[in-house]
Amino acid sequence: MKLSIIIVNYNTYDMTCRCIESIYQQEFAYEYEIILVDNASQECPAKQFKDRFPAITLIENPINGGFAQGNNLAIVLARGEYILLLNSDTIVEENAIQQCVDYLSDPVLSKDTAAVGCKLCYENGVDQVSSFEYKIGLWSSLLDNTIVYQLVKLLGFAKYRNMEYVMQRHQTTHDVQALLGAYILCKREVIEKVGMLDPDFFMYYEEFEWCYRMRKAGYRLQYLANTKIIHIGGGTSANTTSLKGVGLNKQFALSKLLLIYKRFGAPGVYLYNCILTFNKVTNYFINLFRSEQKKNAHQTIIEGFIYAKRYQSVMVKYFRPEFSSAKFPFKTSLVEELYEKQKVS
- pLDDT at residue number 295: 76
Say which residues have a Cβ less than 8 Å from residue 257's Cβ, sequence separation at least 6: 269, 272, 308, 309, 312, 315
Q: In this model, does residue 11 exceed pLDDT 90?
A: yes
**pLDDT at residue 345 in the model:** 63
Between 64 and 154, the more confident residue is 64
Give residue 134's pLDDT band: very low, low, confident or very high (50, 70, 90): confident
Q: What is the reported pLDDT for 152?
A: 84
Contact (Cβ atoms closer than 8 angstroms) between residue 240 and residue 10: yes
Q: Shortest CA distance to 140 belongs to which of 128, 152, 127? A: 152
pLDDT of residue 237: 52
CATH code given to domain 3-130+170-238: 3.90.550.10
According to DSSP, residue 314 is labeled: H
pLDDT band at 179 (very low <50, low <70, confident <90, very high): very high
Kindly tell me if the per-residue pLDDT of 178 is higher than 70.
Answer: yes
pLDDT at position 245 is: 52
Cβ atoms of residues 130 and 118 within 8 Å: yes
Domain definitions of the chain by residue range: 3-130+170-238, 241-344
H-run or E-run covering 149: helix 146-154
CA-based angle 6:56:233, to the nearest 5? 40
Higher per-residue pLDDT: 93 or 215: 215
Average per-residue pLDDT in the chain? Answer: 92
Task: Note whether 68 and 211 are within 8 A (CB).
Answer: no
The whole-number pLDDT of residue 235 equals 59
SS3 37: strand
d(CA 69, CA 311): 22
Long-range CB contacts (within 8 A, 24+) of 292-298: 298/144, 298/146
Query: pLDDT category, 14, cuts 50, 70, 90?
Result: very high
